[in-house]
Amino acid sequence: MNSNKKTFKQYMHEWLYSNDGYYSTYKEIGKEGDFYTSVSTSSFFGGAIAKKIIDEIQNGNLKENTTILEIGAHHGYLLADIIQFIYTLKPELLKSLNFAIVERFEHLQKFQKEYMKESFGNEINLIHYNDINEVKLDSAFILANEIFDAFACELVLEKENILYQAFLEDEKIVFEKCEDKKLLEHCKKYSLSKGEVCLDYEEFIKTIDLNIKNFHFLTFDYGDRFYRNDFSTRVYKNHEVLPIFDKKINLQTSYKTSDITYDVCFNYLIDIFEENNITDIKFDTQMNSLVNFGVIELLEILKAHTSESVYLKELQKVKLLIEPTGMGDRFKTLYVKK
């Protein structure tokens, strides 16, 4: 490989995670940023998760001193929302629960600490880990919101029964015959002829399994149960979405200044957990998961304790989270128990 050529995975990793990459600086999410997330849409997203955690503790499925661990918390807003709803619904649990974040970027750790301090004073003791390898726990409720679509991936394309892999050469995507044995085996196993592959999921899940004795693992992400056999990689900038092969996209100007993401194949994640002898796995839509967690009941509690205008405002936000034609179906969830 010449000095100007790299795999798409290497290119995407540098785009997002290098010292001057997209995630290396503070980024707004929501109206002022490049995209919206469920967290930026409504605090009731975290509220529904908080209610689920409380229910699991009351049912004896989680310990009262478990650690709520968020991986890739960005600004820490989701964990803060969860803490706030636990305080509202079952405040005594804040005395026994532990809270932690896995965050590689020092500037985001600093922001998260300051935000938690500003929100809860000294009531919450937040632990930071630089990497998932550092986490050693007996019990945890693990949150991974939109984490898998931020793993750098390879792009593959099959033509005439030959698999090709994407490379970046002189700021252009080119496909060359794939020589990567693991990539070839993966595409054969899943009958994948076109799309994205991230083999790093396997090490990530294996590490969690080895380091945490008992856990509930909850993830929300763009994607579907099976590979679609199409490219989903896209770039977000100022709420404009451009597919990676769109003629309007300029890789030179988008590189490190825009977010880049893709759809996740949940069946592959399920297989990895099962290969690690974990079988209590539930795949669903975000809509069904949030409703099952109790988001509607939370709205009813709000309705009984606030003005109609406040209630209706929050109701509209929650509708965005669960509407079948939007976030409710576009985002999928995986809830895994070990």
What pLDDT band is residue 315 in, cutting at 50, 70 and 90?
very high
What pLDDT band is residue 75 in, cutting at 50, 70 and 90?
confident
Among the ranges 74-88, 110-124, 178-192, which has the highest mean pLDDT value?
A: 178-192
pLDDT in tens, 20-63: 898 877 555 444 444 445 777 899 999 999 999 999 999 999 99
Q: What is the mean pLDDT of residues 75-91?
A: 95
| Poorest-pLDDT segment among 29-43, 249-263, 291-305 | 29-43
pLDDT at 258 > cutoff 60: yes
DSSP 255-296: TTTSEEE--EEHHHHHHHHHHTT--EEEEEEHHHHHHHHTHH
Using a 10 angstrom Cβ sphere, with 0-12 exposed, 13-18 middle and 19 or more buried, the burial of residue 279 is exposed
Percent of the chain with pLDDT over 90: 83
pLDDT at 238 > cutoff 80: no
Q: Are 144 and 217 in contact (CB under 8 A)?
A: yes
User: Under the phi-then-psi rule, with left for phi > 0, alpha for psi from -120 to 50, and beta for the rest, what region is 66?
Assistant: beta
Alpha carbons 91 and 225: distance in angstroms, whole number = 37
Considering only CA atoms, which of 134, 149, 140 is closest in space to residue 79?
Answer: 140
**Residue 297 pLDDT:** 97
pLDDT in tens, 86-115: 999 999 999 999 999 999 888 889 999 999
pLDDT in tens, 122-175: 889 899 999 999 999 999 999 999 999 999 999 999 999 999 999 999 889 999
CB atoms within 10 A of CB 66: 23
Q: Are 83 and 115 in contact (CB under 8 A)?
A: no
Alpha carbons 337 and 52: distance in angstroms, whole number = 13
What pLDDT band is residue 3 in, cutting at 50, 70 and 90?
low
pLDDT at 275 > cutoff 70: yes
pLDDT at 285 > cutoff 90: yes
Calculate the average pLDDT of the chain.
92
**Residue 28 pLDDT:** 55
pLDDT in tens, 184-203: 999 999 999 999 999 999 99
Q: What is the mean pLDDT of residues 321-326?
A: 91
pLDDT in tens, 200-223: 999 999 999 999 999 999 999 999
Q: What is the mean pLDDT of residues 298-314?
A: 94
| Poorest-pLDDT segment among 30-39, 153-162, 260-269, 291-300 | 30-39
Considering only CA atoms, which of 57, 152, 139, 147 is closest in space to residue 98?
Answer: 139
> Distance from CA of residue 15 to its chain's centroid?
18
Alpha carbons 73 and 75: distance in angstroms, whole number = 6
